Amino acid sequence: MTETIDQIEKAHSPGFVDRLRYRSRREFLSTLTLTAGASSLFAQSQTRPPIVYPPQYSDKVMEPVNVREFQEVAKRNLDFKTYNYIAGGSEDEWTLRANVEAYQRVWLRPRVMMDVSTIDTSSELLGHKLEFPILLDPTTKSRIVKDGDRVAAVGAHECGAIYCVSNPLSWIDDLYQAEKAPVWWGSTLGHSTKSSARGWARRNEDAGATALAVTIDHPYSPNRDRVIRYNWTQTNGNTFIWSKYQGGVLSPTRPSLTWQHIDWLRSASDLPLVVKGVLTAEDATLAVENGVQAIIVSNHGGRALDGAVPTLMALPEIVDAVDRRIPVLIDGGIRRGTDILKALALGANAVLIGRAYVWGLAAFGQVGVQRVVEMLRAELVVAMGLAGMPNLASINRNLARLPWE
Ligand SMILES: Cc1cc2nc3c(=O)[nH]c(=O)nc-3n(C[C@H](O)[C@H](O)[C@H](O)COP(=O)(O)O)c2cc1C
């Protein structure tokens, strides 16, 4: 680079540019590039696509350069117990760590000479155009940050990400009034009766949900050692409620859930039905047979059954079993654009992020959510460019090398 600059300076001086007029080398260079547009010497650089910058925010928001650094800012902002509630998983946290480590164990086999002058991350999911394949997981944020669910929803709207809502409350209506509602999916841990399932489906459809997602991996409250040890107490809808976690208590969430639940929802709503928490080919096959319209490969971010297979490792068998009949999504451990690229290479249609955007929310509120999504999106674009993948259709299994295959 230095050599080129020096050559250019030499070739055009004296009189072409007076470098002393420019405050910095960067300013000099950008002016030179503009001025040089007319010269045949620069004909080749004219055909170069423009540099694409993600949206910019204040210096403070732009300071963390990756999701892990957002986590550090969030850690400083949050009280110790709440930080550990978010960061932690269940029991020995094998699955929590393995979700992240699985991405470190898969290597990319980049292609070269592929003409990646334009990078297109768009696709289609359940009838909705996705500009980029990153959705936001349900994460009950009002327990973490005041009005967290609503604040993150506005962030999702601003950056154009689909948002899973655990408890749609009156704030969804307010967001529609203010034209700040994101495209959103209703999310539930399931219901114990047909009438409550149907009521929930109708409420969500009426409120504007575009799909209904049932989390099916949480029949009982898991042992979360950090939560038990630090005696974290829950708040609900910003109101403090006392609910002490204890270890080894068989505390039911929705233990009676079966595939019949899908029929219950379908009898009340025409919205696409999604299940979150599939980890095996057997259950993926059953999901398709029971008329589910999309699967999320998930282990609840390592917060449910400890020892459950990391999601990236589970993905290939599920993709094979589903055989393109319905979209397969994945979450758990995604912290980088290259992680997303690996998941797409192994057959995911899109990914969801959980903690990544919760760190953004806890660090800087709404713009923190936006910045994390936009940062991951930008990282994905760069990764696709470097891997020789101009669009999502070009990404396939040959891009990934698996250590366990
Ligand atoms: C603080 C927190 C709360 C969560 N609450 C829910 C929930 O209410 N329902 C649900 O299906 N998943 C919940 N999850 C799991 C996420 O939806 C998602 O599966 C997980 O966070 C993905 O892993 P990642 O955090 O490594 O991205 C929660 C996760 C976190 C971190």
Ligand 1 midpoint to CA 34 (Å): 48
Q: Which domains are delineated in the chain?
A: 2-46 (no CATH), 59-401 (3.20.20.70)
> Of 353, 272, 278, which is closest to residue 315 (Cα–Cα)?
278
Compute the distance between CA of residue 88 and CA of residue 84 in angstroms, rounded to an integer. Answer: 5
Residue 251 tokens read as 């505390």
Residue of 139, 245, 336 to test ligand 1 pocket, by largest number of atoms within 8 Å of CB? 139
DSSP letters for 371-393: HHHHHHHHHHHHHHHHHT--BGG
Compute the distance between CA of residue 395 and CA of residue 84 in angstroms, rounded to an integer. Answer: 36
pLDDT at position 145: 87
pLDDT at position 42: 44
Compute the distance between CA of residue 185 and CA of residue 79 in angstroms, rounded to an integer. Answer: 30
SS3 of residue 277 by DSSP: strand
pLDDT at position 46: 55
> Which ligand 1 atom is the nearest neighbour of the CA of 355?
25
Ligand 1 midpoint to CA 354 (Å): 5
> Which ligand 1 atom is the nearest neighbour of the CA of 213?
11
The torsion angle over the Cα atoms of residues 182, 188, 191 and 196, rounded to 10 degrees, is -20
> Which ligand 1 atom is the nearest neighbour of the CA of 144?
1
Residue 153 tokens read as 């929803």
Ligand 1 site, CB within 6 A: 86, 99, 137-140, 166, 187, 215, 276, 298, 300-301, 303, 331-334, 353-356, 358
pLDDT at position 147: 92
pTM of the model: 0.88
Residues acting as catalytic residues? 300
pLDDT at position 234: 58
pLDDT at position 7: 41
Ligand 1 midpoint to CA 235 (Å): 16
Q: Taking a C-beta distance cutoff of 8 angstroms, is the pair 319, 340 a contact?
A: no
Ligand 1 midpoint to CA 362 (Å): 15
The residue contributing the CA closest to ligand 1 atom 5 is: 139
Compute the distance between CA of residue 340 and CA of residue 379 in angstroms, rounded to an integer. Answer: 9
- Cross-strand bridge partners of residue 290: none
pLDDT at position 283: 98
> Which ligand 1 atom is the nearest neighbour of the CA of 215?
11
Q: Could you give phi then psi for residue 9, rounded to 5 degrees?
A: -60, -45
Residue of 135, 137, 295, 297 to test ligand 1 pocket, by largest number of atoms within 8 Å of CB? 137
Ligand 1 midpoint to CA 89 (Å): 10
The residue contributing the CA closest to ligand 1 atom 14 is: 139
pLDDT averaged over 10-residue windows placed end to end, the chain, 405 residues:
37 32 43 41 63 96 98 97 95 98 98 97 97 96 87 98 86 95 97 97 96 97 90 54 68 94 98 98 98 98 98 98 98 98 98 98 98 98 98 98 81
pLDDT at position 248: 82
The residue contributing the CA closest to ligand 1 atom 1 is: 86
Ligand 1 midpoint to CA 217 (Å): 11
Cα angle vertex 222, ends 294, 363, to 5°? 75
The residue contributing the CA closest to ligand 1 atom 19 is: 300
